[in-house]
Amino acid sequence: MNSGPLPNPRVRIQTEDFDMSAEVAALRAQDPRVGAVCSFLGTVRDRTAGTAGSISSMELEHYPGMTEKAIEAMIDQALARFDIYGARIVHRVGLLQPLDQIVLVAVSSAHRAMSFQACEFLMDYLKTQAPFWKKEQTPEGARWVDARVSDDAALARWGIAASNF
């Protein structure tokens, strides 16, 4: 992994793995107001709901430019809804294996409550609204699926209508 300074964009979509510690350090860098950082790390599982067998790999795709713009807009919403200082999302695409890191959401604030809420808000958005598609490799063969999960309860918690996607 890269040991040099990290770029400081709020959203990165990439094929290569990432260093969670370095990403969190970049989010907090030189901001003495930060009293809390909440992070979520998602990894590739070896099975998925509705699949009898195991997942040997998954391939994630996105629309470059459009996906980043959509996630940037959701970070803007998080900044408006919650008393947070910053957020950082790294999402991998390409071919991934079980146990691989797939997504990082990190949020900084003065106190933990806002960081936890904003992190959950952003993760719910990524799971239900972000434009990603995945192909799962199973013993029965490969299948493309919409990576978005319909979770009306998660959307309702944040006042987002299910029809928005």
Q: Look at phi and psi of residue 50 and say left if phi exceeds 0, alpha if psi is from -120 to 50, else beta.
A: left
- The predicted model scores a pTM of 0.83
The CATH label, of 3.40.50.720, 1.10.443.10, 3.40.1210.10, 3.90.1170.40, for the domain at 11-143 is 3.90.1170.40
The phi, psi pair for 78, rounded to 5°, reads: -65, -40
- Say how far apart CA 126 and CA 89 lie, in whole Å: 10
Tens digit of each residue's pLDDT (9 = 90 or more) over 15-54 = 999 999 999 999 999 899 999 999 999 998 887 665 555 8
Q: Cα torsion for 31, 33, 38, 42, to the nearest 10°?
A: -20
- Say how far apart CA 122 and CA 157 lie, in whole Å: 12
The three-state secondary structure class of 72 is helix
For the chain, what are the domain ranges?
A: 11-143
What pLDDT is recorded for position 5?
Answer: 47
- Alpha helical stretches, state H, 29-89: 66-81
pLDDT at 145 > cutoff 80: no
